[in-house]
Amino acid sequence: MGDELEIEYCGYEARNNQTICTWEIKLASGVDWNDLDSLKEWTENKVNLGQYVGIWFKRINKGQFPPKYNLNIRGIGEDGRCAFCRRFRTGLKKKTKDNALSYSEIGKCDFE
């Protein structure tokens, strides 16, 4: 794996009155699936999320390295998902800094 964690905004989709935002995360050495999952859980506990918010990862390049995941965030209206997204990305940035890695964020959320 490389020494740069990369997160790229892929856009959003409106479906059945819900908005689904997608980010692609390319992991770096020193950051693994368990780190992503732990950070997701920590962030969910810090942010007041609405009852219809759904947040999940999907591995998009099984068997290839570096691992890449889509982070999908689904919700309705002002339900805390944007606060989750900002805090999660800040946590990723801190994790890479703590491991002396580079952090690259490509694109900007349409809702910021």
List pLDDT tens digits, range 19-50.
999 999 999 888 899 999 999 999 999 999 99
Cα 48 → chain centroid: 17
How many Cα neighbours within 13 Å face the side chain of 35? 20
Measured CA angle at 100 (ends 98, 103), to 5 deg? 90
Which pLDDT belongs to residue 30? Answer: 81
Q: Is residue 112 part of a domain?
A: no
- Look at the chain and report how many structural domains it folds into: 1
Name which residue leads in pLDDT, 28 or 8: 8
CATH code assigned at 23: 3.30.70
| Structural domain span for residue 8 | 4-106
Question: Mean per-residue pLDDT for 87-101?
Answer: 93
Give me the chain's average pLDDT, please.
94
